[in-house]
Structure 1
Amino acid sequence: MSTLSSKTKRVFITGGASGLGRALAFHYAHAGCQVCIADVSDARGEETRQELQRISPSTEMLYRHADVTHEEDLQIIADELNQRWGGLDVLINNAGVAQAGAIEDVLLSDWEWILNINLLGVVRGCKVFTPIFKRQGHGHIVNIASMAGLLDVPRMASYNVSKAAVVALSGTLEQELMDAGIHVSVVCPSFFQTNLEETMRTTDPSLKKMMGKLLSSGKLSAEQVAEKIVLGVEKHESYILPHIAGERLWLAKRYLPQRLYSKLFQRSVSRMKPRKN
Protein backbone atom coordinates (compact mmCIF):
# COMPACT_ATOMS: atom_id res chain seq x y z
CA MET A 1 0.00 0.00 0.00
CA SER A 2 1.22 3.50 -0.84
CA THR A 3 2.15 6.02 1.83
CA LEU A 4 -0.83 8.27 2.49
CA SER A 5 -0.60 12.03 2.34
CA SER A 6 -0.49 14.02 5.56
CA LYS A 7 -4.08 15.15 4.95
CA THR A 8 -5.46 11.61 4.97
CA LYS A 9 -5.98 10.95 8.66
CA ARG A 10 -9.74 10.67 9.25
CA VAL A 11 -11.90 8.37 7.14
CA PHE A 12 -15.61 7.54 7.15
CA ILE A 13 -16.99 4.58 5.16
CA THR A 14 -20.61 3.57 4.66
CA GLY A 15 -21.26 -0.14 4.22
CA GLY A 16 -17.96 -0.65 6.01
CA ALA A 17 -18.70 -3.91 7.82
CA SER A 18 -18.19 -6.25 4.87
CA GLY A 19 -16.90 -6.58 1.32
CA LEU A 20 -15.14 -3.63 -0.27
CA GLY A 21 -16.00 -1.24 2.56
CA ARG A 22 -14.34 -3.53 5.08
CA ALA A 23 -11.27 -3.95 2.87
CA LEU A 24 -10.96 -0.18 2.54
CA ALA A 25 -11.26 0.24 6.30
CA PHE A 26 -8.42 -2.24 6.81
CA HIS A 27 -6.18 -0.39 4.34
CA TYR A 28 -6.69 2.92 6.09
CA ALA A 29 -6.28 1.36 9.53
CA HIS A 30 -2.94 -0.15 8.49
CA ALA A 31 -1.89 3.37 7.45
CA GLY A 32 -2.65 4.65 10.96
CA CYS A 33 -5.78 6.60 10.05
CA GLN A 34 -8.74 7.11 12.31
CA VAL A 35 -11.56 5.10 10.73
CA CYS A 36 -15.29 5.20 11.33
CA ILE A 37 -17.41 2.61 9.57
CA ALA A 38 -21.19 2.63 9.30
CA ASP A 39 -23.47 -0.27 8.46
CA VAL A 40 -26.91 -1.71 9.11
CA SER A 41 -25.43 -4.93 10.51
CA ASP A 42 -24.41 -4.19 14.09
CA ALA A 43 -22.86 -7.61 14.67
CA ARG A 44 -20.60 -7.35 11.62
CA GLY A 45 -19.92 -3.71 12.36
CA GLU A 46 -18.69 -4.27 15.89
CA GLU A 47 -16.64 -7.30 14.83
CA THR A 48 -14.97 -5.23 12.11
CA ARG A 49 -14.33 -2.35 14.52
CA GLN A 50 -12.56 -4.70 16.92
CA GLU A 51 -10.38 -6.03 14.10
CA LEU A 52 -9.55 -2.48 13.04
CA GLN A 53 -8.61 -1.62 16.62
CA ARG A 54 -6.25 -4.59 16.78
CA ILE A 55 -4.55 -3.37 13.60
CA SER A 56 -3.88 0.06 15.11
CA PRO A 57 -4.33 -0.10 18.92
CA SER A 58 -3.35 3.52 19.54
CA THR A 59 -5.76 4.96 16.93
CA GLU A 60 -9.48 5.43 17.53
CA MET A 61 -11.69 3.15 15.43
CA LEU A 62 -15.47 3.62 15.48
CA TYR A 63 -18.56 1.76 14.36
CA ARG A 64 -21.91 3.51 14.09
CA HIS A 65 -25.21 2.09 12.95
CA ALA A 66 -26.49 3.97 9.91
CA ASP A 67 -29.02 3.33 7.18
CA VAL A 68 -28.11 5.45 4.15
CA THR A 69 -31.80 5.82 3.30
CA HIS A 70 -32.09 7.96 6.46
CA GLU A 71 -30.36 11.32 6.22
CA GLU A 72 -30.61 11.82 9.96
CA ASP A 73 -28.43 8.73 10.60
CA LEU A 74 -25.63 10.23 8.52
CA GLN A 75 -26.10 13.69 10.00
CA ILE A 76 -25.68 12.35 13.54
CA ILE A 77 -22.39 10.72 12.52
CA ALA A 78 -21.18 13.84 10.71
CA ASP A 79 -21.88 15.96 13.79
CA GLU A 80 -20.11 13.48 16.06
CA LEU A 81 -17.00 13.20 13.86
CA ASN A 82 -16.82 16.95 13.48
CA GLN A 83 -16.84 17.33 17.26
CA ARG A 84 -14.79 14.25 18.13
CA TRP A 85 -12.14 14.39 15.38
CA GLY A 86 -12.38 18.02 14.40
CA GLY A 87 -13.53 17.12 10.88
CA LEU A 88 -12.98 14.48 8.22
CA ASP A 89 -10.51 13.95 5.37
CA VAL A 90 -12.04 11.17 3.26
CA LEU A 91 -15.72 10.25 2.85
CA ILE A 92 -16.37 6.93 1.10
CA ASN A 93 -19.97 6.39 -0.01
CA ASN A 94 -19.76 2.64 -0.43
CA ALA A 95 -23.08 1.17 0.74
CA GLY A 96 -24.98 -0.41 -2.13
CA VAL A 97 -27.24 -3.22 -3.32
CA ALA A 98 -27.98 -5.01 -6.61
CA GLN A 99 -31.10 -5.79 -8.60
CA ALA A 100 -31.53 -7.74 -11.83
CA GLY A 101 -34.33 -8.69 -14.17
CA ALA A 102 -35.91 -7.94 -17.52
CA ILE A 103 -37.41 -4.46 -17.83
CA GLU A 104 -40.97 -5.79 -18.06
CA ASP A 105 -40.58 -7.95 -14.95
CA VAL A 106 -38.96 -5.63 -12.43
CA LEU A 107 -41.43 -3.92 -10.10
CA LEU A 108 -41.32 -0.15 -9.73
CA SER A 109 -40.96 -0.74 -6.00
CA ASP A 110 -37.66 -2.49 -6.73
CA TRP A 111 -36.56 0.49 -8.83
CA GLU A 112 -37.39 2.77 -5.91
CA TRP A 113 -35.54 0.49 -3.48
CA ILE A 114 -32.27 0.41 -5.41
CA LEU A 115 -32.31 4.10 -6.33
CA ASN A 116 -32.97 5.05 -2.71
CA ILE A 117 -29.85 3.19 -1.59
CA ASN A 118 -27.41 3.29 -4.51
CA LEU A 119 -28.11 6.83 -5.67
CA LEU A 120 -29.86 8.78 -2.92
CA GLY A 121 -27.70 7.10 -0.27
CA VAL A 122 -24.68 8.62 -2.01
CA VAL A 123 -26.46 11.97 -2.40
CA ARG A 124 -27.22 12.01 1.32
CA GLY A 125 -23.61 11.30 2.23
CA CYS A 126 -22.34 14.08 -0.05
CA LYS A 127 -24.96 16.53 1.21
CA VAL A 128 -24.26 15.89 4.89
CA PHE A 129 -20.45 15.95 4.82
CA THR A 130 -19.80 18.68 2.23
CA PRO A 131 -20.38 21.50 4.76
CA ILE A 132 -17.61 20.04 6.95
CA PHE A 133 -15.22 19.89 4.00
CA LYS A 134 -16.07 23.46 3.00
CA ARG A 135 -15.46 24.79 6.52
CA GLN A 136 -12.06 23.15 6.79
CA GLY A 137 -11.09 23.96 3.19
CA HIS A 138 -10.28 20.43 2.06
CA GLY A 139 -11.69 16.93 1.79
CA HIS A 140 -12.14 14.04 -0.59
CA ILE A 141 -15.43 12.42 -1.58
CA VAL A 142 -15.16 8.88 -2.95
CA ASN A 143 -18.32 7.48 -4.53
CA ILE A 144 -18.39 3.75 -5.27
CA ALA A 145 -20.20 3.12 -8.57
CA SER A 146 -19.53 0.25 -10.98
CA MET A 147 -18.52 -0.48 -14.56
CA ALA A 148 -22.26 -1.13 -14.91
CA GLY A 149 -22.61 2.64 -14.67
CA LEU A 150 -20.39 3.10 -17.73
CA LEU A 151 -21.52 0.13 -19.81
CA ASP A 152 -24.93 -1.39 -20.64
CA VAL A 153 -25.28 -4.80 -19.00
CA PRO A 154 -28.53 -6.48 -20.18
CA ARG A 155 -31.25 -7.32 -17.63
CA MET A 156 -29.69 -5.05 -15.01
CA ALA A 157 -31.34 -1.77 -16.00
CA SER A 158 -32.11 -0.54 -12.49
CA TYR A 159 -28.60 -1.31 -11.25
CA ASN A 160 -26.98 0.24 -14.33
CA VAL A 161 -29.08 3.39 -13.98
CA SER A 162 -28.35 3.75 -10.27
CA LYS A 163 -24.61 3.52 -10.87
CA ALA A 164 -24.64 5.72 -13.98
CA ALA A 165 -26.35 8.38 -11.88
CA VAL A 166 -23.56 8.13 -9.29
CA VAL A 167 -21.03 8.69 -12.09
CA ALA A 168 -22.95 11.79 -13.23
CA LEU A 169 -23.30 13.05 -9.66
CA SER A 170 -19.57 12.65 -9.04
CA GLY A 171 -18.60 14.54 -12.18
CA THR A 172 -21.02 17.34 -11.30
CA LEU A 173 -19.69 17.65 -7.76
CA GLU A 174 -16.10 17.65 -8.98
CA GLN A 175 -16.86 20.80 -10.96
CA GLU A 176 -19.02 22.29 -8.22
CA LEU A 177 -16.64 21.76 -5.31
CA MET A 178 -13.15 22.14 -6.75
CA ASP A 179 -12.89 25.81 -5.80
CA ALA A 180 -13.61 24.82 -2.19
CA GLY A 181 -10.59 22.50 -2.16
CA ILE A 182 -12.73 19.36 -2.29
CA HIS A 183 -11.75 16.46 -4.55
CA VAL A 184 -14.25 13.94 -5.90
CA SER A 185 -13.50 10.45 -7.23
CA VAL A 186 -15.89 7.89 -8.67
CA VAL A 187 -14.89 4.22 -8.53
CA CYS A 188 -16.07 1.84 -11.25
CA PRO A 189 -14.92 -1.74 -10.61
CA SER A 190 -15.97 -4.77 -12.62
CA PHE A 191 -16.72 -8.11 -10.97
CA PHE A 192 -14.62 -8.88 -7.90
CA GLN A 193 -14.85 -11.14 -4.88
CA THR A 194 -17.43 -9.58 -2.57
CA ASN A 195 -20.82 -10.32 -0.99
CA LEU A 196 -23.06 -8.14 -3.17
CA GLU A 197 -25.33 -11.05 -4.06
CA GLU A 198 -26.42 -11.41 -0.41
CA THR A 199 -28.86 -8.51 -0.69
CA MET A 200 -29.53 -8.81 -4.41
CA ARG A 201 -33.14 -8.74 -5.61
CA THR A 202 -34.03 -10.46 -8.87
CA THR A 203 -37.04 -11.65 -10.83
CA ASP A 204 -35.08 -14.70 -12.00
CA PRO A 205 -33.27 -16.94 -9.44
CA SER A 206 -30.79 -18.01 -12.11
CA LEU A 207 -29.58 -14.41 -12.37
CA LYS A 208 -28.69 -14.34 -8.67
CA LYS A 209 -26.82 -17.61 -9.02
CA MET A 210 -25.00 -16.24 -12.05
CA MET A 211 -24.07 -13.05 -10.18
CA GLY A 212 -22.63 -15.02 -7.30
CA LYS A 213 -20.53 -17.08 -9.70
CA LEU A 214 -19.23 -14.03 -11.53
CA LEU A 215 -18.34 -12.23 -8.30
CA SER A 216 -16.53 -15.24 -6.85
CA SER A 217 -14.59 -15.79 -10.08
CA GLY A 218 -13.37 -12.19 -10.26
CA LYS A 219 -9.65 -11.83 -10.91
CA LEU A 220 -9.22 -9.24 -8.16
CA SER A 221 -10.05 -9.63 -4.49
CA ALA A 222 -11.80 -6.91 -2.50
CA GLU A 223 -8.45 -6.17 -0.87
CA GLN A 224 -6.78 -5.64 -4.25
CA VAL A 225 -9.59 -3.39 -5.43
CA ALA A 226 -9.34 -1.42 -2.17
CA GLU A 227 -5.61 -0.95 -2.65
CA LYS A 228 -6.18 0.49 -6.13
CA ILE A 229 -8.83 2.83 -4.75
CA VAL A 230 -6.58 4.12 -1.98
CA LEU A 231 -3.83 4.79 -4.52
CA GLY A 232 -6.28 6.55 -6.85
CA VAL A 233 -7.53 8.74 -4.03
CA GLU A 234 -3.98 9.73 -3.16
CA LYS A 235 -3.46 10.76 -6.78
CA HIS A 236 -6.77 12.67 -6.82
CA GLU A 237 -7.98 10.65 -9.79
CA SER A 238 -11.48 11.57 -10.98
CA TYR A 239 -12.18 8.08 -12.37
CA ILE A 240 -10.76 5.08 -10.55
CA LEU A 241 -11.12 1.97 -12.71
CA PRO A 242 -9.50 -0.98 -10.91
CA HIS A 243 -10.03 -3.54 -13.70
CA ILE A 244 -8.00 -3.15 -16.90
CA ALA A 245 -10.44 -5.22 -18.98
CA GLY A 246 -13.36 -3.08 -17.86
CA GLU A 247 -11.48 0.11 -18.65
CA ARG A 248 -10.66 -1.15 -22.14
CA LEU A 249 -14.31 -1.98 -22.79
CA TRP A 250 -15.32 1.50 -21.62
CA LEU A 251 -12.77 3.07 -23.97
CA ALA A 252 -14.13 0.90 -26.79
CA LYS A 253 -17.62 2.21 -26.08
CA ARG A 254 -16.40 5.79 -26.20
CA TYR A 255 -14.34 5.59 -29.38
CA LEU A 256 -15.52 2.69 -31.55
CA PRO A 257 -18.49 2.91 -33.92
CA GLN A 258 -21.60 1.69 -32.12
CA ARG A 259 -21.99 -1.45 -34.25
CA LEU A 260 -18.42 -2.58 -33.58
CA TYR A 261 -18.71 -1.82 -29.87
CA SER A 262 -22.00 -3.74 -29.63
CA LYS A 263 -20.43 -6.84 -31.15
CA LEU A 264 -17.46 -6.60 -28.79
CA PHE A 265 -19.71 -6.07 -25.79
CA GLN A 266 -22.05 -8.93 -26.65
CA ARG A 267 -19.09 -11.30 -26.86
CA SER A 268 -17.78 -10.10 -23.51
CA VAL A 269 -21.12 -10.60 -21.71
CA SER A 270 -22.30 -13.77 -23.46
CA ARG A 271 -21.14 -15.80 -20.48
CA MET A 272 -23.58 -13.85 -18.30
CA LYS A 273 -26.61 -15.42 -19.98
CA PRO A 274 -28.11 -18.17 -17.79
CA ARG A 275 -28.10 -21.58 -19.33
CA LYS A 276 -31.44 -23.16 -20.10
CA ASN A 277 -32.27 -26.40 -18.37
Structure 2
Amino acid sequence: MGKTRKNILITGASSGLGEEMARRFAAKGRNLGLCARREGRLETLREELLAANPGISVAIRGLDVTDHDAVAAVFGELRDELGGLDRVVVNAGLGKGAKIGSGRAEANLATARTNFIGALSQCEAALEIFRAQKYGHLVLVSSISADRGLPGAKAVYSASKAGVAALGEALAAELAKTDIVVTTLLPGFIATDMSSKAGDSSALTATLDEGVSAMVSAIEKEPRRAALPGLKWQGIDVALRFLPNELTNRLV
Protein backbone atom coordinates (compact mmCIF):
# COMPACT_ATOMS: atom_id res chain seq x y z
CA MET A 1 0.00 0.00 0.00
CA GLY A 2 1.14 3.51 -0.72
CA LYS A 3 -0.61 6.46 0.88
CA THR A 4 -2.85 6.16 3.94
CA ARG A 5 -6.51 5.43 3.18
CA LYS A 6 -7.88 8.54 4.86
CA ASN A 7 -11.61 8.35 4.10
CA ILE A 8 -13.26 5.01 4.92
CA LEU A 9 -16.86 3.91 4.43
CA ILE A 10 -18.13 1.03 6.59
CA THR A 11 -21.56 -0.60 6.24
CA GLY A 12 -23.26 -2.44 9.08
CA ALA A 13 -21.58 0.03 11.44
CA SER A 14 -24.24 0.25 14.15
CA SER A 15 -23.11 -2.88 16.04
CA GLY A 16 -20.67 -5.76 16.21
CA LEU A 17 -17.67 -5.87 13.90
CA GLY A 18 -18.61 -2.73 11.98
CA GLU A 19 -19.05 -0.59 15.09
CA GLU A 20 -15.74 -1.74 16.54
CA MET A 21 -13.88 -1.27 13.26
CA ALA A 22 -15.19 2.29 13.20
CA ARG A 23 -13.69 2.89 16.65
CA ARG A 24 -10.31 1.49 15.57
CA PHE A 25 -10.08 3.52 12.38
CA ALA A 26 -11.27 6.67 14.17
CA ALA A 27 -8.44 6.21 16.70
CA LYS A 28 -6.04 6.09 13.74
CA GLY A 29 -7.29 9.51 12.64
CA ARG A 30 -9.35 8.37 9.65
CA ASN A 31 -12.51 10.08 8.46
CA LEU A 32 -15.52 7.78 8.43
CA GLY A 33 -18.72 7.31 6.47
CA LEU A 34 -20.93 4.97 8.50
CA CYS A 35 -24.09 3.22 7.27
CA ALA A 36 -26.62 0.94 8.94
CA ARG A 37 -30.35 0.43 9.18
CA ARG A 38 -30.39 1.72 12.78
CA GLU A 39 -29.57 5.38 12.27
CA GLY A 40 -30.17 6.22 15.94
CA ARG A 41 -27.29 3.96 16.96
CA LEU A 42 -25.10 5.61 14.35
CA GLU A 43 -25.88 9.03 15.87
CA THR A 44 -24.71 7.79 19.27
CA LEU A 45 -21.58 6.26 17.76
CA ARG A 46 -20.75 9.44 15.85
CA GLU A 47 -20.94 11.49 19.07
CA GLU A 48 -18.66 9.01 20.82
CA LEU A 49 -16.10 8.97 17.98
CA LEU A 50 -15.96 12.76 17.62
CA ALA A 51 -15.60 13.25 21.37
CA ALA A 52 -12.66 10.84 21.48
CA ASN A 53 -11.12 11.96 18.17
CA PRO A 54 -12.01 15.63 17.58
CA GLY A 55 -9.79 15.93 14.50
CA ILE A 56 -11.79 13.56 12.31
CA SER A 57 -14.99 13.80 10.28
CA VAL A 58 -17.80 11.28 10.73
CA ALA A 59 -20.72 11.20 8.29
CA ILE A 60 -23.65 8.84 8.84
CA ARG A 61 -26.58 7.57 6.79
CA GLY A 62 -29.40 5.15 7.46
CA LEU A 63 -29.20 2.40 4.84
CA ASP A 64 -30.80 -0.92 4.02
CA VAL A 65 -28.27 -2.61 1.72
CA THR A 66 -31.04 -4.62 0.03
CA ASP A 67 -32.27 -1.35 -1.53
CA HIS A 68 -29.91 -1.11 -4.52
CA ASP A 69 -30.82 2.45 -5.51
CA ALA A 70 -30.36 3.63 -1.91
CA VAL A 71 -26.91 2.02 -1.72
CA ALA A 72 -25.71 3.88 -4.81
CA ALA A 73 -27.20 7.18 -3.60
CA VAL A 74 -25.80 6.90 -0.06
CA PHE A 75 -22.30 5.92 -1.20
CA GLY A 76 -22.28 8.96 -3.48
CA GLU A 77 -23.49 11.25 -0.70
CA LEU A 78 -20.85 10.00 1.73
CA ARG A 79 -18.12 10.38 -0.89
CA ASP A 80 -19.19 13.99 -1.44
CA GLU A 81 -19.50 14.76 2.27
CA LEU A 82 -16.07 13.36 3.11
CA GLY A 83 -14.40 14.75 0.00
CA GLY A 84 -13.68 11.34 -1.53
CA LEU A 85 -13.57 7.67 -0.58
CA ASP A 86 -10.32 5.72 -0.27
CA ARG A 87 -11.66 2.48 1.20
CA VAL A 88 -15.08 0.79 1.40
CA VAL A 89 -15.67 -2.04 3.88
CA VAL A 90 -18.59 -4.23 2.76
CA ASN A 91 -19.55 -5.50 6.20
CA ALA A 92 -23.35 -5.40 6.58
CA GLY A 93 -24.64 -8.91 7.19
CA LEU A 94 -27.48 -11.00 8.52
CA GLY A 95 -27.27 -14.26 10.47
CA LYS A 96 -30.85 -15.51 10.27
CA GLY A 97 -31.45 -19.01 9.02
CA ALA A 98 -33.46 -22.21 9.20
CA LYS A 99 -33.20 -25.71 7.80
CA ILE A 100 -34.12 -25.52 4.15
CA GLY A 101 -37.59 -26.93 3.57
CA SER A 102 -38.70 -26.43 7.15
CA GLY A 103 -41.27 -23.76 6.30
CA ARG A 104 -39.14 -20.74 7.24
CA ALA A 105 -37.98 -19.71 3.79
CA GLU A 106 -38.26 -16.00 4.54
CA ALA A 107 -35.40 -16.14 7.08
CA ASN A 108 -33.16 -17.78 4.49
CA LEU A 109 -34.20 -15.45 1.69
CA ALA A 110 -33.56 -12.41 3.89
CA THR A 111 -30.06 -13.70 4.70
CA ALA A 112 -29.29 -14.33 1.02
CA ARG A 113 -30.59 -10.91 -0.01
CA THR A 114 -28.58 -9.05 2.62
CA ASN A 115 -25.36 -11.04 2.58
CA PHE A 116 -24.93 -11.60 -1.15
CA ILE A 117 -27.25 -9.37 -3.18
CA GLY A 118 -26.62 -6.53 -0.72
CA ALA A 119 -22.87 -7.09 -0.96
CA LEU A 120 -23.10 -7.02 -4.74
CA SER A 121 -24.97 -3.70 -4.61
CA GLN A 122 -22.25 -2.30 -2.38
CA CYS A 123 -19.52 -3.52 -4.75
CA GLU A 124 -21.33 -1.94 -7.70
CA ALA A 125 -21.54 1.42 -5.92
CA ALA A 126 -18.00 1.34 -4.52
CA LEU A 127 -16.34 0.27 -7.75
CA GLU A 128 -18.22 2.86 -9.79
CA ILE A 129 -16.61 5.47 -7.52
CA PHE A 130 -13.19 3.78 -7.56
CA ARG A 131 -13.15 3.28 -11.34
CA ALA A 132 -13.97 6.97 -11.86
CA GLN A 133 -11.13 8.10 -9.57
CA LYS A 134 -8.83 5.22 -10.67
CA TYR A 135 -7.91 4.05 -7.15
CA GLY A 136 -9.42 2.66 -3.94
CA HIS A 137 -9.49 -0.29 -1.56
CA LEU A 138 -12.54 -2.58 -1.53
CA VAL A 139 -12.82 -4.87 1.51
CA LEU A 140 -15.34 -7.72 1.52
CA VAL A 141 -16.15 -9.30 4.88
CA SER A 142 -16.91 -12.94 4.10
CA SER A 143 -16.54 -15.79 6.63
CA ILE A 144 -14.64 -19.01 7.24
CA SER A 145 -18.03 -20.63 6.60
CA ALA A 146 -17.44 -19.76 2.93
CA ASP A 147 -14.90 -22.60 2.78
CA ARG A 148 -17.40 -25.42 3.16
CA GLY A 149 -21.21 -25.48 3.11
CA LEU A 150 -22.50 -25.74 6.67
CA PRO A 151 -25.50 -27.99 7.42
CA GLY A 152 -28.85 -27.09 8.92
CA ALA A 153 -29.72 -23.55 9.88
CA LYS A 154 -26.34 -22.21 8.70
CA ALA A 155 -26.63 -23.53 5.13
CA VAL A 156 -27.77 -20.29 3.49
CA TYR A 157 -25.44 -18.16 5.60
CA SER A 158 -22.42 -20.20 4.49
CA ALA A 159 -23.63 -20.20 0.88
CA SER A 160 -24.09 -16.43 0.89
CA LYS A 161 -20.61 -15.90 2.32
CA ALA A 162 -19.16 -18.29 -0.27
CA GLY A 163 -20.73 -16.05 -2.89
CA VAL A 164 -19.07 -13.01 -1.32
CA ALA A 165 -15.69 -14.77 -1.26
CA ALA A 166 -16.02 -15.80 -4.92
CA LEU A 167 -16.97 -12.25 -5.83
CA GLY A 168 -13.90 -10.91 -4.04
CA GLU A 169 -11.68 -13.43 -5.80
CA ALA A 170 -13.11 -12.47 -9.19
CA LEU A 171 -12.69 -8.75 -8.60
CA ALA A 172 -9.16 -9.14 -7.24
CA ALA A 173 -8.15 -11.01 -10.39
CA GLU A 174 -9.82 -8.46 -12.67
CA LEU A 175 -8.28 -5.44 -10.94
CA ALA A 176 -4.86 -6.92 -10.13
CA LYS A 177 -2.98 -4.59 -12.50
CA THR A 178 -4.79 -1.42 -11.43
CA ASP A 179 -4.63 0.86 -8.39
CA ILE A 180 -7.90 -0.60 -7.09
CA VAL A 181 -7.11 -3.21 -4.43
CA VAL A 182 -9.59 -5.90 -3.36
CA THR A 183 -9.29 -7.73 -0.02
CA THR A 184 -11.53 -10.56 1.17
CA LEU A 185 -11.59 -11.23 4.92
CA LEU A 186 -12.72 -14.63 6.23
CA PRO A 187 -13.29 -14.24 9.98
CA GLY A 188 -13.85 -17.27 12.18
CA PHE A 189 -16.00 -17.09 15.30
CA ILE A 190 -15.79 -13.63 16.90
CA ALA A 191 -17.91 -12.67 19.92
CA THR A 192 -20.80 -10.49 18.70
CA ASP A 193 -24.56 -10.50 19.22
CA MET A 194 -24.90 -12.30 15.89
CA SER A 195 -22.44 -15.06 16.81
CA SER A 196 -24.06 -15.66 20.19
CA LYS A 197 -27.47 -16.09 18.55
CA ALA A 198 -25.93 -18.47 16.00
CA GLY A 199 -24.67 -20.76 18.76
CA ASP A 200 -21.01 -20.66 17.68
CA SER A 201 -18.61 -22.82 19.68
CA SER A 202 -17.39 -20.87 22.71
CA ALA A 203 -14.12 -22.81 22.70
CA LEU A 204 -13.29 -21.44 19.25
CA THR A 205 -14.73 -17.94 19.66
CA ALA A 206 -12.29 -15.03 19.78
CA THR A 207 -13.10 -11.92 21.80
CA LEU A 208 -14.42 -8.91 19.90
CA ASP A 209 -11.17 -7.09 20.70
CA GLU A 210 -9.00 -9.91 19.35
CA GLY A 211 -11.13 -10.41 16.28
CA VAL A 212 -11.39 -6.76 15.25
CA SER A 213 -7.70 -6.14 15.97
CA ALA A 214 -6.90 -8.90 13.48
CA MET A 215 -9.38 -7.54 10.94
CA VAL A 216 -8.08 -3.97 11.09
CA SER A 217 -4.47 -5.17 10.92
CA ALA A 218 -5.27 -7.27 7.84
CA ILE A 219 -7.22 -4.46 6.18
CA GLU A 220 -4.29 -2.08 6.60
CA LYS A 221 -1.92 -4.60 4.98
CA GLU A 222 -4.31 -4.98 2.03
CA PRO A 223 -3.79 -8.67 1.19
CA ARG A 224 -5.91 -10.40 -1.42
CA ARG A 225 -7.32 -12.86 1.13
CA ALA A 226 -7.02 -13.25 4.91
CA ALA A 227 -8.46 -15.90 7.26
CA LEU A 228 -8.41 -14.73 10.86
CA PRO A 229 -7.93 -14.21 13.76
CA GLY A 230 -4.66 -15.98 14.42
CA LEU A 231 -3.00 -19.22 13.36
CA LYS A 232 -5.92 -21.27 14.70
CA TRP A 233 -8.35 -19.93 12.14
CA GLN A 234 -5.76 -19.96 9.38
CA GLY A 235 -5.39 -23.68 10.09
CA ILE A 236 -9.14 -24.27 10.11
CA ASP A 237 -9.36 -22.39 6.82
CA VAL A 238 -6.82 -24.71 5.19
CA ALA A 239 -8.46 -27.80 6.68
CA LEU A 240 -11.94 -26.91 5.45
CA ARG A 241 -10.71 -26.16 1.96
CA PHE A 242 -8.36 -29.07 1.37
CA LEU A 243 -9.06 -32.03 3.68
CA PRO A 244 -11.51 -34.78 2.65
CA ASN A 245 -15.17 -34.46 3.57
CA GLU A 246 -14.91 -37.49 5.87
CA LEU A 247 -12.61 -35.47 8.13
CA THR A 248 -14.06 -31.97 7.78
CA ASN A 249 -17.64 -33.12 8.42
CA ARG A 250 -16.61 -33.39 12.07
CA LEU A 251 -15.66 -29.71 12.09
CA VAL A 252 -18.98 -28.45 10.72
Determine if the TM-score, normalized by the shorter chain, exceeds 0.5: yes
Q: Matched residues in 2 for 1:47 and 1:173: separation?
A: 35
Counterpart among 5, 9, 16 of residue 8 in structure 1: 5
Q: Matched residues in 2 for 1:215 and 1:17: separation?
A: 24
Please tell me whether the aligned partners of residues 45 and 63 of structure 1 are also in contact (alpha carbons under 8 angstroms): yes
SS at match of 1:188: strand
Counterpart among 212, 223, 230 of residue 226 in structure 1: 212
Q: Is 1:63 aligned with 2:49? A: no
Amino acid at match of 1:189: P
Please tell me whether the aligned partners of residues 24 and 223 of structure 1 are also in contact (alpha carbons under 8 angstroms): no
1:154 Cα deviation after fit: 1.8
Q: In structure 1, what is the equivalent of residue 190 of structure 2?
A: 192
In structure 2, relative to structure 1, the CA distance for the partners of 1:150 and 1:254 (3 Å cut) is closer
Q: In structure 2, what is the equivalent of residue 90 of structure 1?
A: 87
**Number of corresponding residues:** 250
Q: In structure 2, what is the equivalent of residue 255 of structure 1?
A: 242
Q: In structure 2, what is the equivalent of residue 18 of structure 1?
A: 15
Counterpart among 177, 185, 190 of residue 175 in structure 2: 177
Amino acid at match of 1:66: L
Q: Matched residues in 2 for 1:216 and 1:161: separation?
A: 23
Question: Considering only aligned residues, what root-mean-square deviation do their CA atoms show, in Å?
Answer: 2.1
**Mind listing any 5+ residue stretches in structure 2 that lack a counterpart?**
none
Please tell me whether the aligned partners of residues 20 and 223 of structure 1 are also in contact (alpha carbons under 8 angstroms): no
Please tell me whether the aligned partners of residues 193 and 215 of structure 1 are also in contact (alpha carbons under 8 angstroms): no
1:255 Cα deviation after fit: 3.3
1:75 Cα deviation after fit: 1.9
| TM-score normalized by the length of structure 1 | 0.83
1:179 Cα deviation after fit: 3.1
Counterpart among 219, 230, 233 of residue 246 in structure 1: 233
In structure 2, relative to structure 1, the CA distance for the partners of 1:216 and 1:24 (3 Å cut) is farther
Q: Is 1:35 aligned with 2:32? A: yes
Please tell me whether the aligned partners of residues 15 and 39 of structure 1 are also in contact (alpha carbons under 8 angstroms): yes
Q: Matched residues in 2 for 1:224 and 1:193: separation?
A: 9
Amino acid at match of 1:131: E
Which string of whole-angstrom CA distances, capped at 9 and with x for unpartnered residues, describes residues 166-217 of structure 1?
Answer: 000110111122333111111111111111168xxxxxxxxx5xx24x3766
Deviates more, 1:71-80 or 1:141-150: 71-80
Please tell me whether the aligned partners of residues 227 and 237 of structure 2 are also in contact (alpha carbons under 8 angstroms): no
Instruction: Please say which structure displays the higher CA radius of gyration.
Output: 1
| TM-score normalized by the length of structure 2 | 0.90
Q: In structure 2, what is the equivalent of residue 113 of structure 1?
A: 110
Q: In structure 1, what is the equivalent of residue 158 of structure 2?
A: 160
**Mind listing any 5+ residue stretches in structure 1 that lack a counterpart?**
199-207, 270-277
Counterpart among 227, 236, 245 of residue 222 in structure 2: 236
